[in-house]
Amino acid sequence: MNTLVKSSSGIQQISVDSMLLSRRKIFIEGEINPESACEFVKALMVLNAEDTNKYIDCFINSPGGEMNSGLLIYDAIQSSRAPVRLFCIGRAYSMGAVLFACGRHGRYILPHGELMLHEPLLGNRIGGNSSSIQSISKSLLEMKRMMNRLLAGHIGRSEKEVEKMTGHEDHYFNAEECVKAGLADEIVDFAKLLEG
């Protein structure tokens, strides 16, 4: 999507994404995969190179996706020298919820935003011999423990409490429940998204 912008050299057509990036606003939208994770990291690098003191606002509307890609985004956000504020603008499910909940400089959710947490899932069908299936199962359980430990550290809950929040089935949290559970800091309106 493009927009028209007036400047001293006339009227130019600029992509909405470019305009928002120039205002230090980036997005995690759609499925989290290797391509979207790399695009996010590139944008974060550009904004860190410009200024490490100004906030970067990250807006999440995602059904989740691959754990490894999500952990790349997580590592980038956590080690960003510029502070990153996170906003749930719709849904933040699965890995999207983990990324949102792990914010360190503000986690804001719109009144009708929603988070969903669950245990790590296998992306592909299981195949192979019993040894390979056992190895996959062990790896998945290790990933589950690591994700629960990571979440627990960010939301001020014990790993046992996080296990209840993520175990066995999908757990949905509306905006008020997110704040109560420590998954979000504050419910905000659209005006907060426009702040510079």
Answer whether 162's CB lies under 8 Å from 146's CB. no
Tokens 């989290």 belong to residue: 32
Under 8 Å between Cβ of 77 and 37: no
Residue 173's closest CA among 31, 162, 120? 162
Q: Which of 62, 118, 135, 171 is catalytic?
A: 118
Could you give the C-alpha distances from 39 to 3, 17, 27, 172, in angstroms and in order? 21, 12, 10, 28
Please name the helix (run of DSSP H) or strand (run of DSSP E) that holds residue 117, with its range, or none: strand 114-117
Active-site residue flag, 94: yes
Catalytic residue among 36, 69, 80, 94: 94
Closest CA to 113 of 166, 65, 164, 184: 184
Which residues share a beta bridge with 135? none
Q: Looking at the annotation, which residues are catalytic?
A: 94, 118
